[in-house]
Structure 1
Amino acid sequence: MKQQFDPLVGRVFSVFSYYAVPSVVGMVAVSSAFIVDGFFIGNYVGSRALAAVNLTLPVNSMLIGIALMLSIGGSVRCGKYLGQGNIRFASINFSYTLAAIVLFSLIITVLGTIFIKPLTMMLGADQSLAEPVNQYLSIILLFTLFQLGGLCLSFFLRVDGYPVLASIALIGGSILNIILDWFFVVQLTMGLQGAALATGISHTMGLFFVLFSFVLTKSRFRIVRDKCGWTEVIKNAANGFSEFANELSVGVVILLFNWVIMQKLGENGLAAFTIINYSIFFALMVCYAISESTQPIISKNYGALNGKRIYSFLKTASCTVIIIGISMSIIMFFFSEKLVETFLEKGDEKVADLAVMYARYVWPVFLFSGLNIVFSSYLTAMQKPIPSAVIALSRSLILPILLLLILPIFFGDIGIFMAIPLAEVVALAIAIFLVKRNSPNKLVSDG
């Protein structure tokens, strides 16, 4: 790696840009592919299909949560090992994290396929949505290994000093997903099954590209066996628990919102909720990309005891997500009608009206969520899993559920849509308090 991009000695903005820009571009590609999925499904299959896809999101959140817990927890620990010059322990961590991901993926594929019908009912599908949910989910589960394996390897490729290659894998898979969506959904009229197949194939190609990148770059990581390997996985899980808690909480909250919306607003309300969630998803993915790109930088500087540089990287990441949040809030508030029209066939006025109303209440979420994500990610990189998990659980589980139960009592159905923005505001106050208690200089001096 060139010295100007070395996390330990390079200029802060240059290093931040070197890691963050490819990560953001890659994540924009991924989220864009997800949004294009919604475009094809909404326009060529219908609003019912959009609602069905939304019902499957809790399963995806659970799977991604496990993968992030092991992968981010492991890559952060590897970053610290690399900062200390301990290549062998970094390789042990890499080897057993990958083995755990493979084992978990295979178990999920088998169990999910066997119990697909009970799972569909548990997700809240009524009689009209059960079949499309079943069609979509049964195909997605077959590609679990490729999705989670590619995700895991991309984090280790990034911490090994190759963030650009990790992002190229994401971009390539996303472009392929868009092309296959058009081919399967529009040209072959395969409906939700075509959309699921396009997603699965793109995950497969992404995994193969990351594997090829490890060979091409002559990675410092090696596949090794060691009696302490599974202990490393347990430590990874503990350190990355906040990432799991965050993703799982999102899944639980979406599940609860789906149930409440289905009862109060029906299928149209669920479709409207799905449309606005595409915009929220896009903004959150950009913020996650920024926060995750700083983790290997921060963990390496933590290993080298560079407290001042850690503070500088944290400040740079925070300013970046604030700018993104303001931009997304403006777009959501002033251009919500145009966004909604993109995902619907003509004639879905009821869904469109509900979606625009939801947008009018949800836009403040963009102003606060980015900082919460960056602060939680910082604490994970500094190997402070408990305060990191407190932020993650507060913003994505505890506060949304409490507010979802309380606000509709006072504000009616509008209270449903106010829950998430208010949860982010309260969570930010908690996050600021925890970051001040765990400042870079304090943790470095304690370490």
Structure 2
Amino acid sequence: MGRISSDQLGTEPIGRLLVRQAVPASIGILVMSLNILVDTIFVGNWIGSIAIAAINVVLPVSFFIAALGMAIGIGGSSVISRALGADQKEKARKTFGNQISLTLLVTISMVALGLYFIDDLIPAFGGKGMIFEPAKIYYTIVLYGVPFLALCMMGNTVIRAEGKPRFAMIAMIIPSVGNLVLDYVFIYLFDWGMHGAAWATTAGYLLCFGYILYFFLSPNSELKIQAHHFALSTNILKEIGALGLVTLARQAVTSITFLLMNNILFELGGEAMVAVYAIIGRMLMFALFPVFGVTQGFLPVAGYNYGAHRYERVKESIYTAIKYASFMATLVFIGLMVFPEAITALFLSNRPDISEQELLTNSFVLENTPGAMRWVFAATPIIALQLIGAAYFQAVGKAVPALLLTLTRQGFFFIPLILILPRFMGEFGVWLSFPVADFLATVVTGYFLRKEVKHSLNIQS
């Protein structure tokens, strides 16, 4: 695939352009998701199912700090896409410089706070009983690498905003492959246990940062920034903040969801039930990679054409993205409905020296995960509308509806459901909350997206 200039986002046929943007994004997300999935399989087989639960406890904290970088990245990238579409390259460069400064300032502060309150945060997120000690080991090591992850997440979205999806894909592949290789070395060969899993993850972040830095210093990037671009600008920070708040709010609600889920499930079934959710959580990250890839590919296409006032192309990109993403979501749905038992078994150890406690935990997980997985993914075929709809408002710089629609699924529906349904339906109420929240959020998003296309885009056309 040759070099792509940003102005091609406004000239190529939408279908071809979405494929060109979405395929590399999907491959990158696939490899990153496979990394998380295989990493979890390695941990489950070489350390144990309690270790899977421990990592699940740590993820919300480390991912929230990393999401600060993603929020700054996506918020700034929306500004960059529209600036490039309007031929305002100096504004694009200034925005990128501000993104770097803001990411470093915010994430390093958050890491310091995260380490200071470590003994309070881990139990609060469900790291209780046998889960606490392995979670603390993993958390401490991984947190040191999170600022580099935040810079990678920020830089990756900017690479896409420039119309360079192949480089963004490579940036996601490098840390994933590195992490898996180092997992084998540190956990299996060196027998470092949780320490090995954590150091492999942190080293993967550093590898990704190295590649991102290389890209922006090379001739491949159009955003050649200078020292004065790093000076924070109030106007640019307001734009980045307003749009980045959408992503940050999404991840904040996701972290709250993990906190509630881990604690509710620990009360219902102890460490083993948390392990069930940990496996399902990995599948939520992995299985939907093609849908997320189309969504990521859609963002720069919609943003650039909106900035260039080509509203018919914006509408076409919405319809085409929903069509592609819905098809992918349906394929994912079929696979998960047919093979949940085989998927669950991949995460569980069959070592001959397994302890009796571990054997009991594995038996519980194998018995309970498949049914739960089917309910969690029951509404998968319709989620494309929900994701593309929220992404559209973010891409075109409409921060308030983007924020509200992003919060609809987890904040307005899912969290209330998991607080209410388990009181009456026990464990089943937890799993039923997933498809009900997906259905309600899709209906709401569909209503507002249809209204936007019918009134705003048609009038402007």
TM-score, normalization by structure 2: 0.92
Q: 2:228 aligns with which of 204, 225, 232?
A: 225
User: For the residues of structure 2 that align with 1:407 and 1:438, how far apart are their CA atoms?
Assistant: 34
User: For the residues of structure 2 that align with 1:115 and 1:410, how far apart are their CA atoms?
Assistant: 35
User: For the residues of structure 2 that align with 1:382 and 1:4, how far apart are their CA atoms?
Assistant: 16
Question: 1:154: which partner in 2?
Answer: 156
User: For the residues of structure 2 that align with 1:4 and 1:352, how far apart are their CA atoms?
Assistant: 49
Structure 1 unaligned spans of 5+: none
Letter matched to residue 264 of structure 1: L
Contact 1:65/1:245, CA 8 A, preserved across alignment:
no
Letter matched to residue 315 of structure 2: Y
Task: Work out whether 1:260 is the aligned partner of 2:274.
Answer: no
Q: 1:278 aligns with which of 279, 282, 291?
A: 282
User: For the residues of structure 2 that align with 1:446 and 1:225, how far apart are their CA atoms?
Assistant: 36
Question: Where do 1:24-173 residues align within 5 Å?
Answer: 24-173=26-175
Task: Work out whether 1:349 is the aligned partner of 2:363.
Answer: yes
Contact 2:69/2:107, CA 8 A, preserved across alignment:
no
Q: Bigger shift: 60-69 or 233-242?
A: 60-69
Residue deviations 1:75-102 (CA, integer Å, cap 9, x gap): 0111101111111111111101110001
Letter matched to residue 41 of structure 2: F
Q: CA deviation at 1:433?
A: 1.0
Question: 1:421: which partner in 2?
Answer: 435
**Cα 1:297/1:350, change in 2 over 3 Å:** same
Letter matched to residue 441 of structure 2: A
User: For the residues of structure 1 that align with 2:99 and 2:458, how far apart are their CA atoms?
Assistant: 27
**Cα 1:302/1:440, change in 2 over 3 Å:** farther
Question: Where do 1:215-254 residues align within 5 Å?
Answer: 215-221=217-223, 222-225=225-228, 229-254=233-258
User: For the residues of structure 1 that align with 2:6 and 2:187, how far apart are their CA atoms?
Assistant: 46
Question: 2:309: which partner in 1?
Answer: 305
User: For the residues of structure 2 that align with 1:150 and 1:176, how far apart are their CA atoms?
Assistant: 15
Q: 2:444 aligns with which of 424, 430, 433?
A: 430
User: For the residues of structure 1 that align with 2:292 and 2:246, how far apart are their CA atoms?
Assistant: 13
**Cα 1:216/1:354, change in 2 over 3 Å:** same
Letter matched to residue 190 of structure 1: W
Residue deviations 1:395-433 (CA, integer Å, cap 9, x gap): 122211111122224433211111011101000010011
User: For the residues of structure 1 that align with 2:232 and 2:110, how far apart are their CA atoms?
Assistant: 26
Q: Bigger shift: 108-117 or 7-16?
A: 108-117
Q: For 1:10, what is the secondary structure of its paired residue?
A: coil
Q: For 1:265, what is the secondary structure of its paired residue?
A: helix
Q: CA deviation at 1:381?
A: 0.5
User: For the residues of structure 2 that align with 1:119 and 1:189, how far apart are their CA atoms?
Assistant: 27
Q: CA deviation at 1:156?
A: 1.1
**Cα 1:4/1:244, change in 2 over 3 Å:** closer
Task: Work out whether 1:403 is the aligned partner of 2:417.
Answer: yes
Task: Work out whether 1:382 is the aligned partner of 2:386.
Answer: no
TM-score, normalization by structure 1: 0.95
Q: For 2:10, what is the secondary structure of its paired residue?
A: coil
Question: 2:20: which partner in 1?
Answer: 18
Aligned alpha-carbon RMSD (Å): 1.9
**Cα 1:303/1:97, change in 2 over 3 Å:** same
Letter matched to residue 37 of structure 2: I
**Cα 1:42/1:417, change in 2 over 3 Å:** same
User: For the residues of structure 1 that align with 2:199 and 2:116, how far apart are their CA atoms?
Assistant: 19
Q: Bigger shift: 210-219 or 44-53?
A: 210-219
Contact 1:143/1:204, CA 8 A, preserved across alignment:
yes
Question: 1:210: which partner in 2?
Answer: 212
User: For the residues of structure 2 that align with 1:121 and 1:408, how far apart are their CA atoms?
Assistant: 21
Contact 1:28/1:286, CA 8 A, preserved across alignment:
yes
Q: CA deviation at 1:441?
A: 6.9
Letter matched to residue 235 of structure 1: E
**Cα 1:336/1:80, change in 2 over 3 Å:** same
Contact 1:271/1:351, CA 8 A, preserved across alignment:
yes
Residue deviations 1:183-224 (CA, integer Å, cap 9, x gap): 111111111221111111111111111111122235222135
Residue deviations 1:345-388 (CA, integer Å, cap 9, x gap): 13311111111221232221422333211111111001112111
Contact 1:308/1:440, CA 8 A, preserved across alignment:
no
Residue deviations 1:310-358 (CA, integer Å, cap 9, x gap): 1111112111221121111111111000000000013311111111221
Q: How many residues align?
A: 447
Q: CA deviation at 1:246?
A: 1.3
Contact 1:283/1:366, CA 8 A, preserved across alignment:
no
User: For the residues of structure 2 that align with 1:377 and 1:401, how far apart are their CA atoms?
Assistant: 21
Question: 2:192: which partner in 1?
Answer: 190
Residue deviations 1:117-151 (CA, integer Å, cap 9, x gap): 22222222213211111000001110012101111
Q: CA deviation at 1:175?
A: 0.9
Question: 2:353: which partner in 1?
Answer: none
